[in-house]
Amino acid sequence: MEEKMTENKGSAGELAGKVALVTGAGRGIGRGIAGKLAAQGAVVLINYNGSQQRAREAAEEIIKAGGSAECIGCDVSDFTACGEMVDNIIKKYGHVDILVNNAGVTRDNLIMRMSEEDYDRVLDINLKGAFNTIRHLSRQFLKQRSGKIVNISSVSGVLGNAGQANYSASKAGLIGLTKSVARELASRGICVNAVAPGFIDTEMTQALPEKAREAGVAAVPMGRMGSVEDIAELVAFLAGGRSDYITGQVICVDGGMAI
């Protein structure tokens, strides 16, 4: 694991004094979530894998706005590296209060053409990645008798989606992981929830062919794509004290796609 320090300062807000780890936060939805949690006062640990420069920029943006952020490079699909990342965070901060499992990838194809490698990679990052961070952080959360875990699933995991058998399986798996871990940790005051975004405007959806984007929008009753901000708002709510009696839930933020 590579660790890149930027800067830490104090900040006021609903999440003041909280330490939040957001995976895949150098860009896209994760970056939006990191910014929102930092704006509410949390010290945000921006995990990245390939986007080191953008993670640095995300941290700088937060610090410029008066918040606190640090970048941590780690491939979330690597169990041992996740353990080292978590150990280093606990050593440095003494506690972790919020974990957002946002890192995710697509390798779309029809099932009859999907390679074993594409299936495995998507499951390794999207599902095992969340297992890895939760597994390593759960001991700390249990010791603290507090903690908020938010897993970023997808409406594809709720409804299924042609051409995304690997991705949908990983996101549906995340829902099972969320509900099981929520049951295990509830008695210690730890909340575990899933957010299922619909069709959100990021590089993931910008990479789709125009026809697929049009079809995506057509499947949204509200008739438009969602924004990173739409997701970050809910994640911030689930990460804070106003949601202390909500656990094991899957909340779609999708303009009505999953109705």
157, 174 Cβ separation under 8 angstroms: yes
220, 247 Cβ separation under 8 angstroms: no
Residues of span 111-130 touching ligand NAP by CB under 6 A:
125
Is the Cβ of residue 30 or residue 240 nearer to ligand NAP in the bound state?
30
Nearest-5° Cα angle at 172, 209 to 128: 95
Q: Which residues lie closer than 8 Å to 159 by C-beta, 6 or more apart?
A: 257, 258
Lookup result for tokens 């901060």:
93
By CB under 6 A, is residue 240 in contact with ligand NAP?
A: no
Residue 228's Cα: distance from chain center in Å? Answer: 12
Nearest-5° Cα angle at 77, 71 to 78: 80
Could you confirm whether 167 is annotated as catalytic?
yes
Among 104, 147, 173, 255, binds ligand NAP (CB under 6 A): 104
What is the x/- site pattern for ligand NAP, positions 145-184, by CB under 6 A? -------x-x------------------------------
Q: Which of 48, 93, 119, 167 is catalytic?
A: 167
Tell me the number of residues near ligand NAP by CB under 6 A. 29
Which tokens sit at 139? 């001991």
Is the Cβ of residue 20 or residue 29 nearer to ligand NAP in the bound state?
29
By CB under 6 A, is residue 76 in contact with ligand NAP?
A: yes
Known catalytic residues are 167
Q: Interface residues with ligand NAP (CB under 6 A)?
A: 23-24, 26-30, 47-51, 75-77, 102-105, 125, 152, 154, 197, 199-200, 202-205
